[in-house]
Amino acid sequence: MEVKGKVTVVTGGASGIGKSLCERFAAEGAQVVVVADIDIDGAKATLANIEKDTNGLAAQCDVSNENALRNLVSDTLREFGHIDLFCSNAGIFTAGGEEVSNDRWQNIWDINVMSHIFAARAVLPSMLERGEGYLLNTSSAAGLLSQVGSAPYSVTKHAAIGFAEWLSITYGNRGIKVSVLCPQAVRTAMTAGSDGGVAGLDGMLEPEDLAASVIHALGQEQFLVLPHPEVLTYMRRKTDDYDRWLGGMRRLYDRFAEVYKKRQQ
């Protein structure tokens, strides 16, 4: 898929990965970039940066609320006729393990998992009617491997990949393309003030570089978008010898345990 001439929607577009995707889509010649975020002022600021290159719309959207995502899709369809590419990108990080409160587990579940489900429910009917459409869901390398120091993040990012796989299997022969974005550490608000911990071992990626890898993957219509290519090697090691991989992850846990304990304080 080429972004040029396409109607695109990006959630979490006020900052970080989402902001860089909006800017890159505009630079690539997207016909429309809809910038959605719970931070409407941030969304408007992103839109102001790209309006010279594309048509656009800034929309306030709490992705944990299904009605908000339904309204985002319906407003875009009413304004621009169709949606070619929907990027379900918004996400959060919560440190801790099984002891994390139910409310915090539910919050990260709603944002990191249910938002993808809500988006698919809202946008798939019009895409299926047209016989084409593209879903780009942001997960993390933690969804393919794990996340030392955060059970909620690891679990929700695994679930996000599982849902993306299911979408591709179920709708791939009906014109729907699906990709899932799985970076390690990216220089965003989520990693501000740190070196990315375990996820930063292979270097902190700039959001602009990540956006370039997304454009390449969309062009190839690849399911896995791996801005850090090392992740593929780690995946292969994991599936080749699961017990050995778990042992290595325990050593990483011991190495970074104090760092993540401080995050929880």
Is 265 a residue whose pLDDT tops 70?
no
Which of 191, 130, 139, 178 lies closest to 161, judged by CA? Answer: 139
Average of per-residue pLDDT across 16-30 = 97
What rounded mean pLDDT belongs to the chain? 92
Q: In sequence order, what are the beta bridge partners of 178?
A: 135
Is 49 a residue whose pLDDT tops 80?
yes
Bridging pattern class, strands 7-11 and 55-60: unpaired
Q: Which two tokens stand for residue 14?
A: 């006020």
- pLDDT tens digit string along 83-100? 999 999 999 999 999 999
- pLDDT tens digit string along 168-199? 999 999 999 999 999 987 775 554 445 545 55
Is 219 a residue whose pLDDT tops 50?
yes
Distances from the Cα of 87 to the Cαs of 14, 28, 110, 133, 207, in angstroms?
13, 16, 17, 11, 15
CATH code of domain 7-264: 3.40.50.720
Comparison of pLDDT for 252 and 38, the residue scoring more: 38
Is 246 a residue whose pLDDT tops 80?
yes
- Whether 153 is catalytic is yes
Q: Which two tokens stand for residue 143?
A: 């969804």
- pLDDT tens digit string along 234-245? 999 999 999 999
Q: How many CA atoms lie within 13 A of 48 on its CB side?
A: 7
Catalytic residue among 153, 171, 234, 260: 153
- Is the pTM higher than 0.85? The answer reads yes
Domain residue limits, the chain: 7-264
